[in-house]
Amino acid sequence: MRTQGNTRLARHGLLQVSASTAGGGPGSKDIKQHSLGPVLWCVAIATLGAFSFGYHASIVNGPLGAIASELGFKGDAAKAGLVVSRRAIAGFGIGLASALVPLYISEVAPADKRGTLGSVNQLVICFGILGALVVNVILPAADWRKMFYFAAIPPALVILGLAKLKESPRWLASKGRAKEASQNAEALWGPSGPAQLTGDAVSAGTDKAVHKATQPGLGDLLKNRGAMIGTAMFLFQQLAGINAIIYFSSDVFAKAGVQSGAVASAVVGGMNVVGTIVAASAMDKAGRKQLLRLSFGGMGLSMLAMVAGLSLSSLAHLRGSIALWGTLAYVLTFSLGAGPVPGLLVPEITPSRLRGQAVSLALGVHWVANFAIGQLFLPAVEKFGLPGVYLFFAAICFITVGFTQSSVPETKGKSLEEVEALLA
């Protein structure tokens, strides 16, 4: 298999390119000397969509009670869940952004910076979450309409920045637009940039008729190992409970006896940012797989600690502290891997011809699970109790550790073309 992959790479002129982008050869020197400014501009504009994602995910946390009182559904857990998970117009835009932003970043980033730059997506989501939680602290809950007005600012900035945004060279190559792809690759990655596109251009076919005839279908997607692994990781990420924490932490803190749930939630958001910064610096050193194992393992242990604190009478006097510190530990460990890695991993482990569809499938599953958590968390807590729900989240975390160990490939330091050849 490895020999066949090398033959394929050599035939398309990629073996030398892959080696150079992974850390050796003259191509690496060209890329490192070339300014990252154009790439950073593209990442900065794209991740404004990630900021909106985080802001919308968390802004309802503080004022949910005030919204329920004003709109007449106070005490109705099902309707509260609907407010959290059925903000349809904003959800449509955020859903598109959540799929496009990580895909775009993975395709415009140089191979040796892809892990770090891919983590920026999750980092900016965390800034969006933190920004929403800070707004929850500053504004009274009765001003919840103003909180939602602020959400219009990042999309407006995206519209202004689109004029100077570079289209993904790999996407252009896959559509047979070789000249534009080469120009954008050189602008983003320097003189050796166009050579990196050989594999994508050949595999997709520069002849448009050939490209049209080889368009993949749903069956191809469901048979692809990388697409299924990436989709599973997003499902596990949601079923592990992160959005229950983000959406409802203020209510959970109040039930645990924490005096200021909004302030505690803002501290949690700050911890999320800190952990994601650490993950960004470690992504291209420690590797994706190690961070995922560490992250989900820590999340599971944190959930077990909170289960003990909430259910054991001998720990009743420590319930508020355990809820706060357990949540902080959970969010910190989530931000080290479970948060940033899946969005980076999906476009890395799927071939160029399936990459867009694979990201869409993974994020589609993400949003379905996100909706389910938002809709079912409060009714589940009413029926099974908070410790029972948290015990379920802990079990999912430990299952994911085993799945990561057995099924997730390591992509650290490899070009997208190398990863595609390894998984072929």
Which one, of 281, 268, 391, 277, lies nearest residue 331 by Cα?
A: 268
Per residue in 107-127, pLDDT (tens digit) is 888 877 877 888 888 889 888
**Beta carbons within 10 angstroms of residue 149's beta carbon:** 10
Which one, of 93, 100, 95, lies nearest residue 365 by Cα?
A: 95
Structural tokens at position 295: 């992250």
The confidence score (pLDDT) of residue 204 equals 45
Which position has the higher pLDDT, 125 or 201? Answer: 125
The confidence score (pLDDT) of residue 305 equals 93
Question: What is the DSSP secondary structure assignment for residue 36, as one 8-state letter?
Answer: S
Q: Name every residue whose Cβ is closer than 8 Å to that of residue 354 and which is 6 or more positions away in sequence.
A: 216, 220, 221, 224, 226, 227
Question: What is the DSSP secondary structure assignment for residue 338, as one 8-state letter?
Answer: I
Which position has the higher pLDDT, 40 or 219? Answer: 40
Q: Could you give the C-alpha distances from 152 to 57, 90, 132, 157, 158, in angstroms and in order?
A: 14, 10, 13, 9, 10
If pLDDT is split at 50, 70 and 90, which confidence band does 213 have?
very low
Mean pLDDT of all residues belonging to the chain = 79
If pLDDT is split at 50, 70 and 90, which confidence band does 364 have?
confident
Q: What percent of the chain has pLDDT over 90?
A: 19
Q: Give the containing element (helix H, strand E) for 247.
A: helix 242-255
The position carrying tokens 């103003």 is 146
Q: What is the mean pLDDT of residues 392-418?
A: 88
Q: Give the containing element (helix H, strand E) for 29.
A: helix 25-33
In the predicted structure, residue 260 carries a pLDDT above the cut 90: no
Which one, of 225, 170, 166, 230, lies nearest residue 203 by Cα?
A: 170
Question: What is the DSSP secondary structure assignment for residue 205, as one 8-state letter?
Answer: -
pTM of the entire predicted model: 0.67
Count, residues in the chain:
424
Structural tokens at position 94: 């955020």
Q: What is the mean pLDDT of residues 48-69?
A: 85
Superfamily (CATH) of domain 34-165+216-423: MFS general substrate transporter like domains (1.20.1250.20)
- Cα separation, 81 vs 86, in Å, equals 8
Which one, of 258, 393, 251, 241, lies nearest residue 324 by Cα?
A: 258
In the predicted structure, residue 60 carries a pLDDT above the cut 50: yes
In the predicted structure, residue 416 carries a pLDDT above the cut 80: no
If pLDDT is split at 50, 70 and 90, which confidence band does 157 have?
very high
The torsion angles phi and psi of 353, rounded to 5 degrees, stand at -70, -20
If pLDDT is split at 50, 70 and 90, which confidence band does 259 have?
low
The confidence score (pLDDT) of residue 9 equals 34
In the predicted structure, residue 5 carries a pLDDT above the cut 50: no
